[in-house]
Structure 1
Amino acid sequence: MNERWYSKAVVYCLDIDTFQDSNGDGVGDIRGLIGRLDYLARLGITCLWLHPIHPSPNRDDGYDATDFYNIDPRFGTLGDFAELLHEARNRGIRVIIDLVVNHVSNEHPWFQSARSSPDSPYRDWFVWSEEAPSDRKQGMVFPGEQDETWTYDRTAKAWFYHRFYDFQPDLNITNPEVREEIKKICAFWLQLGVSGFRMDAVPFIIERTEPGNPDSPKDFAFLSELRQHVQWRQGDALLLAEANVEPAELTDYFGGRLHMLFDFMLNARLMLALARHDPEPVIDALRDTPALPDGAQWATFLRNHDEVDLSRLTADQRADVFEAFGPSPDMRLYDRGIRRRLAPMLGNDLRRIQLAYALQFSLRGTPVLRYGEELGMGEDLSLEGRMAIRTPMQWSPARNAGFSSADTLIRPLAEGWETLNVTVQRNDRQSLLSWFERMIHTLREAPEVGAGSCEHVDVPVPRGVLAHRAVDSTGSMLFLHNLADSACEADMSSLAAEAGYPVEVLSDDGYDPITDDLATVALNGYGFRWIRLRRNS
């Protein structure tokens, strides 16, 4: 059993309903996903993260569950899911699923019982107030889409709390029965064969008192309880959490609690660096990142299933990113983010796209890749909110991009699918997909990346160039990424003493061979070079 398998993983996240339809109803399903596992294995994926899979009215794209112990019938059955886990394991791919237990759908039997009577056994599973709370206009997660965080229920004759939409009542995590139920949910899916969970909205789950108050103390003890429980059931089970909090709070989520956190701070700084063609924000992020306890790990990403969240940037920094990547109001969301995929944000410039992902995958942490990003998929801004980047996967130039044989799809295809698809790019050695395959397989041959140390190499380099290195017991690697459009040369001779026989393992172009003295390392505009300095084993 490899209890830290996640530190060397390459994670691929997808929505089952938009990946592959096997029965012609226009909705992706589990059988369709099983048929595409060989594609993921060839790409180099080792962990598959599935967005919500439970039965749901789908008012919030599955994040409003009505049954935590079953599969949405649109996707298939529990038997189909067990087959998916088996087939994925046969290909060396683990599967983790979304654990969305901050709230439930208002159609969930627990809430229907709770609202029906004060004597319901589920009444205290939710957060109620007999009087209208004075702070109900504060703390909205989706400003502009919701007006308050408390809603009056006429049947219950009381106000119920909801951090998100009014059809998603929050569970009362302070109730021991709710805690035990969440543990039972985890145990059920672990027994079925999942390798862990991506936990949604963790800071809201552990709010201990005063719902809606950002200064409310957090109940980190529950995270410790949950970690202990899942690892007792399965020693290598993973808890990967979404917690976009202040840097000073981040380490509270580790240390016997969560195994991994998404690095939102690095993500925002990466976007700022790409927008300004300046590596300083990334250097700042590497410097400001708190030290993690043994066994803890970051999850890095450029795009996920939500908007690009710029809330941790200053107003001036945010303005620069908006100007570069979201100049039109319809590209923005909640006054804090951008609802676009990365390729169109970077002008569909293959050089910049490869540079951005080469940089992400070379930094400390486990890389997470959103489905379709390996093709340079675009978005559909005519769709509402976050749905703009949740369009069907593009497999071929055939009808409906090979996603489905149906006349009507769950969502329209993104523009450009006729050429931005797996079939076309698989046959082109210069395509983004072919490059991703090479890059990911190179990464898996470099054990010092991700799990080793990651430090900025503080030597004079041309403006726009980021130099950093990764070091662990197996050796060391040097990474150079040029965020500027102009070619240049970097003098890295200060590292020559630690280099045995430097070897280039990945680059954007066919550069002249690296010299032992590392005195003149050429870089194209938007160029990058991964150089192995030393290998110990």
Structure 2
Amino acid sequence: MSGTVWWKSGTVYQIYPRSFQDSDGNGVGDLRGITQRLDYLAWLGVDAIWISPFYTSPMADFGYDVSDYCGVDPLFGTLHDFDELIAEAHRRKLRVILDFVPNHSSIAHPWFAESRASRNSPRRDWYIWRDPAPDGGPPNNWLSNFGGPAWTCDAATGQYYYHAFLPEQPDLNWRNPDVRAAMHDVLRFWLKRGVDGFRVDVIWHLIKDEGFRDNPLNPAFVPDLPEINRFEQIYSCDRPEVFDIIAGMRAVLREHGERVLIGEIYLPIERLVAYYGDDLTGADLPFNFQLLSTAWEAESVAALVEEYEAALPVGGWPNWVLGNHDRPRITDRVGEAQARIAAMLLLTLRGTPTLYYGDEIGLANVVIPPDRVQDPWELNEPGHGRDPERTPMQWDDTLHAGFSTVEPWLPLSTDAARRNIDEMRDDSGSILTLHRRLLHLRRDHAALSVGGYRTVSSAAELREGLFVYERFEGDVTVRIVLNFGDCERRLMLPAGTTWAVLLSSRSGRSGASEAGELNIAPNEGVILMPHIEI
């Protein structure tokens, strides 16, 4: 794999900094806390860490409202703490990817203060301002992703400003070349400090329709969906001009050698893959979130993999995500038994996997009492909050689970005394041990990290809940068998070959030899390699 770029062969681990490790006893995680836990990440076997925002911010949306793109919020530490984190991560051969939030700033950013000061302000056009509609209301029907109108009227100047999210997060005007230049300088600031790439927040939102046309009604809308789904977002995002913006970012990254550009994109596959562009215009990894919403059954997952693989452009490298800070935990979605199958799927499919902190210990969504709700989306649209999947990492069975010396900003799981790193790391049957073995298998076998992919399940096997596929590189083939069901199944193996069990999600089976017929336990996954020619 010496000729493979690191972001293709490696695994990314997302850290939500508020919830990873508190080093200063205020109940909130910070940069020094991440540094303290780097040895764990190296032990686990990930290759890169992606850190959600820690920039200076009023925290209206927990750091996704940035008031200084080149500063560290005191809640998380200092620039010196960040430099130490980079140095210590690189010393352990861990890459560092930052969250870049270019679509919108904080309302407290000096740019916006100057922009709203006057219609004649030199920075007026750095944000999106429009006159009211003839009735005095918002300029069009665009909605905020967090509920309510996407336009807020500024009484002092008599115009509305656009915000795809909270009113405290005004959208920047990326049609303005001065905005592009300023944001490119932000990228350079962090690249010079040694970062290895960026995950670009809501990259498909960066350009809006030049005529600000109304979005059409969504005929598939149902009342229990978030309000944003009432309209089809065809004019407020995913515009063709966005690829020129991405090309500009790619050019900045190329100034600094091999760096990765990841784009957050919640779009159907046919639109998602357009964001690969080419070597000059696209993202290296347009985030593939399809597993977050696909029915958890063998037939549906196999069909998704085939559809995605077929849609990838020539040279496009796949990627897979099972969890993040915006979606319910995988254990919550599929159950504790199937969370092991999910881990095996994520870490054996072709492409770069992103693992969300806490998923490796099977952490589920945590119930948040009403008086402890933090998420502004939950406060605006009850039932859609993201606090349950953002709770603190659980390190040991001490008070506050080793995350902090005081009550954390969000509650821990009720089973924290047993669901923690210390309790699980020496347990050969734990889901943590399974994740570590999978990660190290990827490193040991090029077939699993950079090899090709093919489905070998029959239609009948898929109907029975068995998803079987192979990864291959050179003359090495690895076969993965995943039982999505709660019934034992039998699988016929190719005749004439004995297979070694590289890994099973069940304790005690790894290292065994199998031939002819393979019995798969309920909720079991098995990784096989041809062993002995008979």
TM-score in same-fold range (> 0.5): yes
The 8 Å contact of residues 4 and 295 in structure 1, kept in 2 or not, is answered as: no
Measure the CA separation in 2 of the matches of 1:476 and 1:206: 44
5+ unaligned residues in a row in structure 2: which ranges?
Answer: 216-232, 379-384
Residue 529 (structure 1) aligns with = 526
Could you list the structure 1 runs, at least 4 aligned residues long, displaced by more than 6 angstroms after superposition. none
Measure the CA separation in 1 of the matches of 2:142 and 2:161: 15
Per-residue CA deviation, residues 348-403 of structure 1 (Å, 9 max, x unaligned), is x3x32211211121112211111111112233332341112111111111111111
Per-residue CA deviation, residues 177-208 of structure 1 (Å, 9 max, x unaligned), is 11111211111101101100001111101335
Distance apart, 1:74 and its partner CA: 1.0
Residue 223 (structure 2) aligns with = none
The 8 Å contact of residues 150 and 159 in structure 1, kept in 2 or not, is answered as: yes
Residue 274 (structure 2) aligns with = 252
Tell me whether 1:443 sits opposite 2:466 in the alignment: no
Distance apart, 1:456 and its partner CA: 1.4
Per-residue CA deviation, residues 279-305 of structure 1 (Å, 9 max, x unaligned), is 111121122114434553233121111
The 8 Å contact of residues 270 and 311 in structure 2, kept in 1 or not, is answered as: no
- Which residues in structure 2 correspond to 1:236-247 (within 5 Å)? 236-247=258-269
Residue 508 (structure 1) aligns with = 505
Per-residue CA deviation, residues 148-201 of structure 1 (Å, 9 max, x unaligned), is 011101123211111111111100011111111121111110110110000111
The 8 Å contact of residues 477 and 534 in structure 1, kept in 2 or not, is answered as: no
Residue 316 (structure 2) aligns with = 296
The 8 Å contact of residues 3 and 235 in structure 1, kept in 2 or not, is answered as: no
Distance apart, 1:2 and its partner CA: 6.8
- 1:8 aligned partner, one-letter code: S
Distance apart, 1:457 and its partner CA: 1.0
Per-residue CA deviation, residues 307-326 of structure 1 (Å, 9 max, x unaligned), is 2xxxxxxxxxxxxxxxxxxx
- 1:342 aligned partner, one-letter code: I
Distance apart, 1:450 and its partner CA: 4.5
Measure the CA separation in 1 of the matches of 2:211 and 2:451: 40
The 8 Å contact of residues 3 and 237 in structure 1, kept in 2 or not, is answered as: no
- Mean Cα displacement is larger for which, 450-459 or 417-426? 450-459
Q: What is the percentage of aligned positions where both structures have the same residue? A: 33
- 1:287 aligned partner, one-letter code: E
Measure the CA separation in 2 of the matches of 1:437 and 1:514: 22
- Which residues in structure 2 correspond to 1:276-355 (within 5 Å)? 278-289=297-308, 290-293=310-313, 295-307=315-327, 340-347=328-335, 349=336, 351-355=337-341
Normalized against structure 2, the TM-score is what?
A: 0.86
Distance apart, 1:125 and its partner CA: 0.5
- 1:357 aligned partner, one-letter code: A
Residue 364 (structure 2) aligns with = 378
Distance apart, 1:42 and its partner CA: 0.4
Residue 261 (structure 1) aligns with = 286
Measure the CA separation in 2 of the matches of 1:492 and 1:140: 53
Residue 434 (structure 1) aligns with = 433
Per-residue CA deviation, residues 245-289 of structure 1 (Å, 9 max, x unaligned), is 1222223211221100221224322xx12xxxx311112112211
- 2:403 aligned partner, one-letter code: F
Distance apart, 1:446 and its partner CA: 2.1
Residue 165 (structure 1) aligns with = 166
Residue 53 (structure 2) aligns with = 52
- 1:284 aligned partner, one-letter code: A
- Which residues in structure 2 correspond to 1:40-439 (within 5 Å)? 40-132=41-133, 136-142=140-146, 146-211=147-212, 213=215, 214-216=233-235, 217-219=239-241, 220-231=243-254, 233-254=255-276, 255-256=278-279, 257-269=282-294, 272-273=295-296, 278-289=297-308, 290-293=310-313, 295-307=315-327, 340-347=328-335, 349=336, 351-382=337-368, 383=373, 384=378, 385-406=385-406, 408-439=407-438
The 8 Å contact of residues 434 and 505 in structure 2, kept in 1 or not, is answered as: no
The 8 Å contact of residues 32 and 81 in structure 2, kept in 1 or not, is answered as: yes
Pair 1:475–1:139, CA change in 2 (3 A)? farther
SS in 1 for 2:171: coil
Measure the CA separation in 1 of the matches of 2:85 and 2:170: 31
Normalized against structure 1, the TM-score is what?
A: 0.85
Distance apart, 1:36 and its partner CA: 0.7
The 8 Å contact of residues 269 and 311 in structure 2, kept in 1 or not, is answered as: no
- Mean Cα displacement is larger for which, 278-287 or 73-82? 278-287
- 2:519 aligned partner, one-letter code: A
Root-mean-square deviation (CA, aligned residues, Å) is 2.2
Residue 316 (structure 1) aligns with = none
Measure the CA separation in 2 of the matches of 1:266 and 1:399: 35
Measure the CA separation in 2 of the matches of 1:376 and 1:461: 27
